[in-house]
Amino acid sequence: MNARPGTALVTGASSGIGAAYAARLAAQGWDTVLVARRAQRLDDLARRLRAETATTVETVVADLSEPDDVARVARRAADDGVGFLLNNAGINGYGPFAGLDPGLMTKVLHVNVLAVTALARAVVPAMLERGRGTLVNVASQLAFAGSLPPDPLPERAVYGGTKGYVVTFTRTLAAELAGTRLRVQVLCPGLTATEFHRSRGDEPVPGREQSVHEEGGMPVDQVVEASLAALDTGQVVCVPGLADPAPVAGLAEAERAIRAAARRGGS
């Protein structure tokens, strides 16, 4: 391998999509900065990636619901060597809104909204100055399920709202950065075969080995493959498993129609 592509920073790297994405990037020659709460899991993954890919792997143990930890990771992300940011860390806080613990609700907002935004803000200026870079924010198909009732879907008002933010934030940022050489994507997986549903996010899933929740879902490698393929073709909204892109194109059409109606109404 000749020149390295650079350094990729991956949050939520201790399991699931984050761990699989980090492994794929390392296989492509990226040095990686792995960020998550579980030190043992990060250390295990780091040792494996170093052995398999001979890349440089750094681990950062951080809880992105904590402002000080977000600031610390943001400082690392702002390094001009970071050319790829995967904002993957997320927690769900599922449950009836009226009974949701305020502390858990705050954690969901901090991890899913504030950390995503702060880390994106940390990397974009250096990427623009360098003239290249990639930002992938992980949302969820539940961002598009606001009108659907629970069962079989979870009770998810706060989680769905945060992922709706990630979709709108990323699409709007991509439009703002159009014409630059930055690649911006929002990855919207559906049910994925990870351990995500085994915890509401107040505490990480225990144990050193990754597991899969009982619901199963799409294999993580397929989600990562879909994201990388969409980056190659310039797709901003990537929905793994969606064969027909018409629904995504319809989002923009619906937005234009709503705005046109507002203008006709004199707003």
| pTM, full prediction | 0.94
Choose among 170, 187, 165, 173: nearest CA to 128: 173
For the chain, the domain total comes to 1
Is 193 among the domain residues?
yes
- Write the CA distances from 183 to 18, 127, 134, 241, integer angstroms: 19, 10, 5, 21
Choose among 196, 252, 238, 247: nearest CA to 86: 238
Is 87 among the domain residues?
yes
Is 1 among the domain residues?
no
Is 209 among the domain residues?
yes
Query: Do 64 and 110 meet the contact criterion of CB atoms below 8 Å apart?
Result: yes
CA–CA separation, 161 vs 72, rounded Å?
26
Is 221 among the domain residues?
yes
* Domain membership of residue 43 as a residue range: 7-264
User: Can you give the pLDDT at residue 215?
Assistant: 84
Is 114 among the domain residues?
yes
Is 2 among the domain residues?
no
Determine how β-strand 133-138 pairs with β-strand 82-87. parallel
Check 21, 94, 159, 165 and give the catalytic one.
159
10-residue averages of pLDDT along the chain (267 residues) = 82 97 98 97 98 98 98 95 97 97 98 98 97 98 95 95 98 98 98 90 82 88 98 97 93 93 71
Full 3-state SS string of the chain: CCCCCCEEEEECCCCHHHHHHHHHHHHCCCEEEEEECCHHHHHHHHHHHHHHHCCCEEEEECCCCCHHHHHHHHHHHCCCCEEEEEECCCCCCCCCHHHCCHHHHHHHHHHHHHHHHHHHHHHHHHHHHHCCEEEEEECCHHHHCCCCCECCECCCHHHHHHHHHHHHHHHHHHHHCCCCCEEEEEECCCCECCCHHHCCCCCCCCCCCCCCCCCCCECHHHHHHHHHHHHHHCCCEECCCCCCCHHHHHHHHHHHHHHHHHHHCCC
CA–CA separation, 255 vs 262, rounded Å?
11
Is 169 among the domain residues?
yes
User: Can you give the pLDDT at residue 197?
Assistant: 85
The CATH number of whichever domain residue 170 belongs to comes to: 3.40.50.720
165 is catalytic: no
CA angle at 17 for the pair 227 and 116, rounded to the nearest 5°: 80
